[in-house]
Amino acid sequence: MFSGKKQKSFLILNLFLFITLSFNASSNVKRHILALYSGSESDDIAFHPLHLYAELPLNHLGFVLKYWDVDKGLPHLNDINDCRAIITWFLNGKLKNPLDYIKWATNAIEKGFKFIILGNIGAEENLEKKPTSLVSLNILLKTLGVERKEIWINPHQIQKITNNNPEIINFERKLDMIQKGFNFQNNISTGGHSILSAELKDGLVSDLIIVTPKGGIATEGYFLYLAEESPLTQQKDIDSKIISQWYINPFAFFREILKSDDLPKADTTTLCGNRIFYNHINGLGWRNKSEIVHHHKNGLSAIEVIYEDILSKHPELPATIGPIIADLDLSWVGTKKNQEIAKKIFALPHIEVASHSYSFPENTNYYLKQRSLEEEKKDLDRGIMRRLYLNQPYEHEKEFKGSIDYLKNFLPSSKNVKLFLWPGNCLPNMEDLKRLDELQILNLNGGRNRYDAEYPSYSSLSPMTRQIGPYLQVYASGSNENSYTFGWRERFFGLKFLTSTLLNTDRPIRLKPINLYYSAFSGQKKSSMAAIEELLDYIKYANVNPIFASDYVQIVQGFYTTQFNLIDTLTWEIKNRHTLQTIRFDNASLSKVDFKKSKGILGAKHIYGSLYISLDPKVETPIVSLENNDQIDAPPPAESPYLLDAHWQISDFSTNRNAFEFNLNGFGSGEMKWYCPEKGTYNVTFIQNTERKIGEFQLSQDHILTIPLHFLSIAQEKVKIVKVENQPLKQEDSS
C-alpha cells in the first residue's frame, strides 16, 4: 500500500527507467552489465540463454543487464561507462566482422571492463564461414588471461575431469561423464585460476572454466546441462523431464569474477525484514460452472466460488484480480450476474482490481498487422485460437484503454485500475508496453518460475523482467496452476506443489517473494480449491509482509532505477529507489549498520548470512553505513531502537533512546520485532486519532521487543512505543 504520491510519479519513474536502460546513465557504484548477443540467433531476448539462465543470478547479485544486439554494431566504450562488466553467450561462433569485434572486446578489457565469455567466443568465423585465425582469437583471449592452442580435443582423448573448486562445480548436477569436444586452452594470467580442467591421455591438461583478474571463460557443455528437448515444448512427457541444471554454481562463479560481496544490492524479495507476499488472480474461467457438488447444486460459477470460499474469508490477505472484460460486457458474453459478482469482489477492502484484457488475445504480436474477424475465425476452424472471444474485431485501443475504462464502471470511488495482467502467451511487444506507459498503467505476468522435484534447478526460474527497448515487462514471481496441471488437463490439485518452489527460492538464497498466482477457473474443482486453501494456510503462518501486486511491480521498477554513490568507506548514498525499501549486503554476518553515520534507516536483520536493511519510505535519499559486527548470535547492539521485522510496512520513524514512533500500514494480524537497547517493559499505544493503549510488552534477554497486533483487514495506525520506567522524551528525527 504505497502512497498516491508514489503512484502518480509513474511518468517520472518511466523517465528514470529510460535513462537507466540507456547508455548515458551514470552511478558511482557500477551495477550494470552489458549483455552481448546476436539477434540472428534469437528473435526475442525472452528465449536467449542470457535471459533464461544468466540474468537471474546476476540480478540477485545486484546487477542490471543491458542487452545489445551485435548484429546492429557495437556500442562506443565511452557510452557504457556505467557498466561494471560485459557478458557474452553466443550460440554459434559467427559474426559479420570478427576482427572488429576482437579489437572492440580487447579494448574493453584494457579499459577495465570485466569480460565474461560463456560458450563460444562469438568471433570464430564470419557469416561466410571463413575461420578466424588463432592468432587473432588469442589477441582477445590473452588480454583476458587465457591462451588457446591449435588443438581440438575430442571426448575420447580425455583421461579425467578435475574439479579444482568444490564450492562451484557439481552444483545441481554432477559432471560425471565426458561432455563435448573443445579447444585446448590454459590460464596464463597472474592471479587467475582454473575452476575445472580436463587431463588428457597424453598428460596435457586443458582448462575448461577459468577465472582471471579481468573476467572469466566457461567452455560450452561444462557449465550448464541442457536437455535436447526444447523448454518451449508443451508436451506432457517433456514437461515432466529435467530441462536444464547448472554444473557450476552461477552465483559463486559470477560473484568471484565481479567481486560483488562488498556492493549494496537493491532487493525485491523482502520488506521490513519479512518476505514479500502478493497474490494475483487471472480472470480466465470467470463464467465456468463449478463442479464442486454443493456449489454446483446452487448454480455457482467458478468466480463465485472463489469469492465465497477464498476472498470473503481471508480479508487479512490482499489479492489482485483481473477480469477479462468480455465476461462482464453485456454486448459480448457478460451477464448481469457476472457484473454483480464483480461489484461484490471489487468492493472488498483487501482487493485490488486489474485488467486481464478485453478479449484475451493469445499472442498480441499476431495483431501487429491488421487482422479481420474472418481471418481469426478461419484460424479457429483449423484449431488455432487467436483470441478467447471473437465477438468483435480486435482493437488495440479496446484491449488496453477500453478494458481499463470499462472496469471503472464497477469500482468503488476509492479505487482505480493500476495494473494490466498479460493474457495468453504473456509475450507483449514494444507497442503494447508503450500503450500502457502512456496510460500510466503497470504490467505483470509471464516468465517461468518453478523449482521443485520436476524442475530441480535455479535454471528453471526467470529473472524479474523482460526488457523491451526502454520498457520493462514485469514477470510474475511464481507459476500458476497451468504449469502444475499440464494446461488444466489433470492433477487439478497441482498448485499445492508451489510450496516446494517457495522453500527453494528462500533457502539458502532468497531469490523470490512469495507469489500465489491462479486463475478464476480454479473455482471449478474441489481439489484445486483445496490446494489454494492449503497454500493460504501456509502463507498465513509464514513471516510475510503482504502487499498488492501493483506494489510489487513498483518495487521491481525501483530495482532498475536505484543508484548507489559511495561517499565514504563502507558508506553509500541511495538515490532514485522510488518504492524499493530494502538494501542487501551478502556474506555480511560480520557487518552491521552504523546507525550514527546512517540516515533514513528503519532497521536491519541478518537472514541466511546476508544483511537486509530496511529503509524509511519517508526519506528520499537515505545513507547506509556499515561497521564491524562482533555479535552474530543475536541482533547487533545499538544505542537506539531499530526494526528487525514486521508484518506491515513501517514509515516515518523517529526515536530517542527509549521512545519511538512510526506509521504502520498493511494487512491483517501479525507481529513486529524491534531491537531496544535497554531491557524492561515497553508501553505500546495507537495515536492515529485518539490515543489507545494496546498493551505492555517485556523485552527478551537478547533485547528483542515482540509486539503482536490484530487487524481484521486493512491496518493503518500511528504507533508510539515508550519504555515504562521512563517518561517520553521529546522526539528527535533519527534521520
DSSP labels, 434-489:
HHHHHHT-EEE----B--SSSS-SGGGB--SEEEETTEEEEPPSS--HHHHTTTTT
User: With bands split at pLDDT 50, 70 and 90, how would you rate the model's confidence at 239?
Assistant: very low
Domain for residue 164, yes or no? Answer: yes
Mark whether 535 and 570 lie in a shared domain: no
Reported pTM: 0.94
Mark whether 546 and 569 lie in a shared domain: no
Mark whether 469 and 496 lie in a shared domain: yes
Q: Residue 643 pLDDT more than 90?
A: yes
Mark whether 596 and 699 lie in a shared domain: yes
Domain for residue 269, yes or no? Answer: no
Q: In angstroms, rounded to a whole number, what is the distance separating the alpha carbons of residues 65 and 21? A: 9
Domain for residue 531, yes or no? Answer: yes
- If you average pLDDT over residues 670-696, what whole number do you get? 95
| pLDDT at 241 (0 to 100) | 53
Mark whether 209 and 314 lie in a shared domain: no
Residues 560-592 pLDDT 10s? 999 999 999 999 999 999 999 999 999 999 999
Give the CATH number, domain containing residue 432. 3.20.20.370
Of 621, 712, 720, nearest in space to 312 by CA: 712
Of 554, 574, 601, the one marking the end of a domain is: 554
For 319, the domain range is 276-554
Q: Residue 16 pLDDT more than 70?
A: no
Mark whether 178 and 225 lie in a shared domain: yes
- If you average pLDDT over residues 544-558, what whole number do you get? 98
Mark whether 224 and 301 lie in a shared domain: no
Mark whether 216 and 283 lie in a shared domain: no
- Among the residue ranges 160-164, 316-320, 339-343, 696-700, the one predicted with the least confidence is 160-164
Domain for residue 679, yes or no? Answer: yes
Residues 28-66 pLDDT 10s? 899 999 999 999 998 899 999 999 999 999 999 999 999
Q: Residue 602 pLDDT more than 50?
A: yes
Mark whether 610 and 488 lie in a shared domain: no
Q: Residue 735 pLDDT more than 50?
A: no
| pLDDT at 23 (0 to 100) | 46
Give the CATH number, domain containing residue 76. 3.40.50
* Residue 437 near residue 512, CB atoms below 8 Å: no
Mark whether 373 and 492 lie in a shared domain: yes
Q: Residue 351 pLDDT more than 50?
A: yes
Domain for residue 264, yes or no? Answer: no
- Among the residue ranges 158-167, 353-362, 423-432, the one predicted with the least confidence is 158-167
Of 554, 580, 606, the one marking the end of a domain is: 554
Per-chain mean pLDDT for the chain: 93
- If you average pLDDT over residues 633-655, what whole number do you get? 97
Could you tell me the end-to-end alpha-carbon distance of the chain, in angstroms, rounded to an integer?
22
Sign of the dihedral through C-alpha 314, 316, 319, 325: positive
| pLDDT at 15 (0 to 100) | 44
Mark whether 173 and 26 lie in a shared domain: yes
Domain for residue 400, yes or no? Answer: yes
Of 101, 3, 61, nearest in space to 584 by CA: 61
Q: Residue 231 pLDDT more than 90?
A: no
| pLDDT at 504 (0 to 100) | 98
- If you average pLDDT over residues 228-236, what whole number do you get? 46
- If you average pLDDT over residues 486-514, what whole number do you get? 97
Helix (H, G, I), strand (E, B) or coil at 126: strand
Residues 710-734 pLDDT 10s? 999 999 999 999 999 755 444 555 4
| pLDDT at 461 (0 to 100) | 97
| pLDDT at 6 (0 to 100) | 47
Q: Which amino acid is at 24?
A: N
- CA distances in angstroms from 29 to 16, 265, 499, 623, listed in the order given: 17, 10, 36, 14
Show the cell assigned to 115: 569480460
Residues 266-290 pLDDT 10s? 999 999 999 999 999 999 999 999 9
Q: Residue 407 pLDDT more than 70?
A: yes
User: With bands split at pLDDT 50, 70 and 90, how would you rate the model's confidence at 117?
Assistant: very high
Q: Residue 10 pLDDT more than 70?
A: no
Q: In angstroms, rounded to a whole number, what is the distance separating the alpha carbons of residues 330 and 465? A: 35
Domain for residue 2, yes or no? Answer: no
Mark whether 654 and 583 lie in a shared domain: yes
User: With bands split at pLDDT 50, 70 and 90, how would you rate the model's confidence at 506?
Assistant: very high
Q: What is the DSSP letter of 112?
A: T
* Residue 164 near residue 256, CB atoms below 8 Å: no
Neighbours of 634 (CB within 10 A): 13
Q: What angle do CA 212, 265, 46 make, to 5 degrees?
A: 75
User: With bands split at pLDDT 50, 70 and 90, how would you rate the model's confidence at 229?
Assistant: low
Domain for residue 410, yes or no? Answer: yes
| pLDDT at 242 (0 to 100) | 60
- If you average pLDDT over residues 231-249, what whole number do you get? 62
- If you average pLDDT over residues 123-142, what whole number do you get? 96
Of 491, 520, 554, the one marking the end of a domain is: 554
Residues 62-102 pLDDT 10s? 999 999 999 999 999 999 999 999 999 999 888 999 999 99
Q: Residue 8 pLDDT more than 80?
A: no
- If you average pLDDT over residues 473-489, what whole number do you get? 96
* Residue 326 near residue 332, CB atoms below 8 Å: yes
The total of structural domains in the chain comes to: 3
